[in-house]
Amino acid sequence: MTSNDILQKVKRIYQANKAGHTGALDPLATGMLPICFGEATKFSQYLLDSDKRYRVIAKLGQRTDTSDADGQVIQTRQINFTEAELSEALNQFRGPLKQVPTMFSALKYQGRPLYEYARQGLTVPREARDITVYELCFLRHEQDELELEIHCSKGTYIRTIIDDLGEILGCGAHVIYLRRLQVSHYPQQKMITLEQLLEQQSDLDSLLAHLLPIDSPVQDYPILHISAVQGADILLGRTICILASAASERLVRIYAGSGSESHFLGIGLHALNQLAPKRLVNL
């Protein structure tokens, strides 16, 4: 099933009028797929922009046209690198990098996804994009399999890392297993399978127990507290003056009121002594 297939099934289970996922998984991939309902869909973009963590197994010795097992093998080569050479190659994929997206991706060129051109045998220009690999952990290397865990920034294509790594090692490689372990700070232990949800669909309390707060997609952003009066102005779309200053523009989570009366209003742009609304909850 595609990520959208899952989304539509979960939407029906929760009888939601509005729902959206936060970044499609490759057809071959499994793992975490946060789904937003109702007003929370306004903040799904901020999860698209968040860090991700993946477990990946690469098959060495073969390169495919899609850089994963769903593609056609286009080259087969011998595996003859040393462990020292592998360690040196892996180190080239840590830290800030420039990455050219794979042709088999949903990125668009002249209004069409790149994969549509690729399926026609066409290659179009793609600009290298800035990504960051915060952590790349070597897990195992056995015969023609290499297993890694990768914590990376938004827009990182694990398939491309594996394909590029295979070229550096001189043997070629492609992804045969990919699992998204984490998105932003969402806990792995809160993940639930579609099958489990289907079993619980007649139990409203169980379904509700899986839901997280509406501000959970924006936990990576700093908090800014304002008064209830200022909150009313923000909800009317007004830019307000505040005492807290910011040296440069930054996105913040806005909460109005104090103590137990404090509630989430949305995301705003904080610059100098001003706060401008950017994406608000419809209270």
Asked if pLDDT for residue 12 goes beyond 90, the answer is: yes
Asked if pLDDT for residue 268 goes beyond 80, the answer is: yes
pLDDT score, position 114: 76
Q: Is 276 helix (H, G, I), strand (E, B) or coil?
A: strand
CA distance 149 to 14: 33
CA distance 266 to 279: 6
Residue 68 carries which DSSP code?
Answer: B
Better-predicted residue by pLDDT, 26 or 229:
229
Asked if pLDDT for residue 247 goes beyond 80, the answer is: no
Tokens of 264: 């989430």
pLDDT 10s digits, 160-193: 999 999 999 999 999 999 999 999 988 888 899 9
Q: What are the CA-CA distances from residue 164 to residues 113, 117, 176, 264 (Å)?
A: 22, 21, 15, 43
pLDDT 10s digits, 118-166: 787 778 888 888 999 999 999 999 999 999 999 999 889 999 999 999 9
pLDDT confidence band for 235 (50 / 70 / 90):
very high
pTM: 0.87
**Cβ count within 10 A of residue 128:** 10
Pick the catalytic residue from 26, 65, 68, 215: 26
pLDDT score, position 113: 78
Q: Is 136 helix (H, G, I), strand (E, B) or coil?
A: strand
Nearest to 183 by CA among 35, 40, 72, 3: 35
Q: Is 241 helix (H, G, I), strand (E, B) or coil?
A: strand
Residue 26 is among the residues annotated as catalytic for this protein? yes
Phi, psi (rounded to 5 degrees) for 30: -125, 180
pLDDT score, position 126: 84
pLDDT 10s digits, 45-72: 888 788 999 999 999 999 998 899 998 9
Express as a percent the part of the chain with pLDDT over 90: 70
Give Rg (Cα) of the chain. 22
Nearest to 162 by CA among 147, 176, 174: 174
Q: Which domains does the chain have, with CATH numbers?
A: 51-183 (3.30.2350.10), 221-280 (2.30.130.10)
Asked if pLDDT for residue 283 goes beyond 80, the answer is: no
pLDDT score, position 123: 80
pLDDT score, position 107: 74
Express as a percent the part of the chain with pLDDT over 70: 100
Q: Is 230 helix (H, G, I), strand (E, B) or coil?
A: helix
pLDDT score, position 145: 97
pLDDT confidence band for 88 (50 / 70 / 90):
very high
Biggest alpha carbon–alpha carbon distance for the chain? 69
Q: What are the CA-CA distances from residue 104 to residues 21, 119, 121, 216 (Å)?
A: 20, 8, 11, 31
Asked if pLDDT for residue 266 goes beyond 90, the answer is: yes
* Residues in CB range of 88: below 8 A, 6 or more apart: none
* Residues in CB range of 230: below 8 A, 6 or more apart: 240, 242, 256, 275
Average the pLDDT over 204-220 and give the result: 92
pLDDT score, position 176: 98
Residue 33 carries which DSSP code?
Answer: -
Q: Report the chain's mean pLDDT, rounded to a whole number.
A: 91
CA distance 263 to 252: 14
pLDDT score, position 255: 95
Asked if pLDDT for residue 278 goes beyond 80, the answer is: yes
